[in-house]
Amino acid sequence: MKSDMGVGSPAWEVIGVIDTEGDCVEWSFPAEPGAVRTARGAVRVQLRGWQLDALADIAALLVSELVTNSLRHASGPIGVRLLRPGGTGATLRVEVSDPLPDPPRARVAHPEDENGRGIQLLAGSASRWGTLPAESGKTVWFELALPG
């Protein structure tokens, strides 16, 4: 299914757009290699729409890492959810869900390794992060502080 995410926005291949109104946006992406690019683009478009451009690049990068992990280790749809910050000291919360119950594990990547740095990048970039078990799978979440 193609979904138009707003006037002037490109259409993204998604399984479903659960909600694009208010302070929460959710998408479900197929477990296919194009999901990484699609999720990254959807996050950027939404954050710009919320006037959170300053968080768009880092949020998109971290979503790319988590969706890539989901593709490598799980099968089935991948959910991405954004919760808009509100109030003083608020943070943007981002969640990536997949059907694999095992939490991600940080590992030490050697300089010549082409992968294995995603969780380290997440831990070093987010103000907080964690994993929540779900009925079928898990959700990895992170928070980014608003600049300023």
Residue 58 neighbours by CB under 8 Å, 6+ apart: 125, 144
Does residue 60 belong to any structural domain of this protein? yes
The pLDDT confidence band at residue 146, using thresholds 50, 70 and 90, is confident
Least confident range from 37-41, 115-119, 120-124: namely: 115-119
62: its two tokens: 């971290």
Mean pLDDT to the nearest integer, 20-46: 89
Does residue 16 belong to any structural domain of this protein? yes
Beta-carbon count within 10 A of 5 CB: 19
Q: What is the structure's pLDDT at 85?
A: 80
The domain total for the chain is 1
- What CATH code is carried by the domain that includes residue 33? 3.30.565.10
Does residue 5 belong to any structural domain of this protein? no
Does residue 61 belong to any structural domain of this protein? yes
Please say whether the dihedral angle defined by the alpha carbons of residues 101, 106, 107 and 109, taken in this order, is positive or negative. Answer: positive
Q: Which domain holds residue 85?
A: 12-145
The pLDDT confidence band at residue 88, using thresholds 50, 70 and 90, is low
What letter represents residue 38's amino acid?
A: T
Does residue 43 belong to any structural domain of this protein? yes
Pick 97 or 120 by higher pLDDT.
97
The pLDDT confidence band at residue 119, using thresholds 50, 70 and 90, is confident
The pLDDT > 70 percentage for the chain reads 76
Mean pLDDT to the nearest integer, 31-45: 94
Reply yes or no on whether the pLDDT at 8 is more than 50.
Answer: no
